[in-house]
Amino acid sequence: MEILAFGVQADEQPLIERAFRGHHEVRCLDVFLNEDTAPIAAGYECLSTSVNAELGARVLEVLSAGGTRMIAQRSTGFNNIDLKAAERLGMTVARVSYYSPYSVAEFAWTLAMAVNRRIVRASTRTRDFDFRLDGLMGRDMHGRTAGVLGTGKIGEAFTRIAHGFGMRLLGWDVAENPVCMELGMKYVPKEQLLAESDLVTLHVPLMPQTQHLIDADALKSMKDDAILVNSSRGGLIDTAALVAELREGRFTGVGLDVYEAEAGLFYVDRSLEAIEDDTLARLVTFPNVLVSSHQAYYTEDAVGQIIDATVKNVLDYKTGRRSENVLVPRS
């Protein structure tokens, strides 16, 4: 059986080809799966997709008509997949339920420290041989308060680093993490966490109940000099409301690895095109905002684990086994 993999980055391709070697043939495409590209999959029983794939009911119907029976998504998140439609069509869907939490947690800290210590501005200046310190003053993290929204594996890894900085730790989640509590974390209501934290970081999944978890009211409740980091899902933040607050001169820094309308933008070179997304265009103009292209997970360790899990998901499908990665089982 030949697997068709959509949205494969250049760094990923040799890893994917090597992982599938000896099991199945794999064809890698750099285009993302959407309604326009879905016909390419005709004749392929099994597909591997990226987090930016558009797998709504219409796309799934096209895939099903072309003979696709299994989708192995190379990500933990699956809010881009219409699972009910997949079940109705008799399609098996699997994802990667676990990969290195350190990749995302460490990158979240990279964003936090970059905006705190004005690293991008400093780097741009020194390239022009401007070595002034004006406007580059940051703050110690030691002794300040870190608010962690979502204390699962990634939130726990972030908390361990915050503990190493000597920070006061506040947490919010549906369930308390005993490891975080041993590190000194106090669980509080979201409103208290936002009001008291100098650094707020998001590590929760995107679901209907977490859509715009950080809305206009939440943003207004935060400290004027707070740092906000999102390395989870773009839809957790109301970006238009965030832009409105930034225009008022609020927040020491904002680090975003995700954006709620990133589909069709991220992972693609748009440097020679006019960006029609006015919200994103305005967002990147603020000197205290750093936007990266959904790369927090992108380490050799994490990507290797994601690919290995994807191979296992395909093999499980072929042999009829079922694991914790299966979202829609084989009918």
Please identify every residue annotated as catalytic: 233, 262, 294
Closest CA to 234 of 211, 208, 209: 211
Q: Is 328 helix (H, G, I), strand (E, B) or coil?
A: strand
**Whole-Å CA distances, 126 to 2, 123, 241:** 50, 5, 33
d(CA 51, CA 79): 9
Going from the C-alpha of 235 to that of each of 115, 157, 232, the distances in angstroms are 21, 22, 9
Smallest CA-to-CA distance from 165 within 151, 183, 152 is with 183
Residues forming a β-bridge with 230: 202, 256
> In whole angstroms, what is the distance from residue 135 CA to residue 91 CA?
55
Q: What is the dihedral of CA 294, 297, 298, 301, to 10 degrees?
A: 180
Read off the amino acid at residue 113.
Answer: M
